[in-house]
Structure 1
Amino acid sequence: MVDHAIELLTRAGCSACEQAAGRLAELAGELGFRLTVTDVDVAAADGNSALRAEYGDRLPVVLLDGAEHSYWEVDEPRLLADLGSAE
Structure 2
Amino acid sequence: MTDARVPTITFLGKPGCHLCEEAEPVVREVAARHSAELSVLSILDDAALQQRFGELIPVVLIDGEQHSQWFVEAERLDAAVAAAAARR
User: TM-score under structure 1 normalisation?
Assistant: 0.82
5+ long unaligned stretches in structure 1? 44-48
Note the alpha carbon deviations across 1:22-70, whole angstroms, 9 max, x for none: 1111112211111111100122xxxxx1111111120100011111110
Runs of 4+ displaced beyond 3 Å: none
Q: Identity over aligned residues, as a percent?
A: 34
Partner AA of 2:42 in structure 1: D
In the TM superposition, what are the counterparts of 1:60-79 in structure 2 within 5 Å?
60-79=58-77
Instruction: Output the CA distance in 2 between the equivalents of 1:19 and 1:6.
Output: 17
**Distance (Å, rounded) in 1 between the aligned partners of 2:29 and 2:79:** 17
1:35 maps onto 2:38 in alignment: yes
Amino acid of the structure 2 residue aligned with 1:30: R
| Shift of residue 84, structure 1, vs aligned partner | 2.2
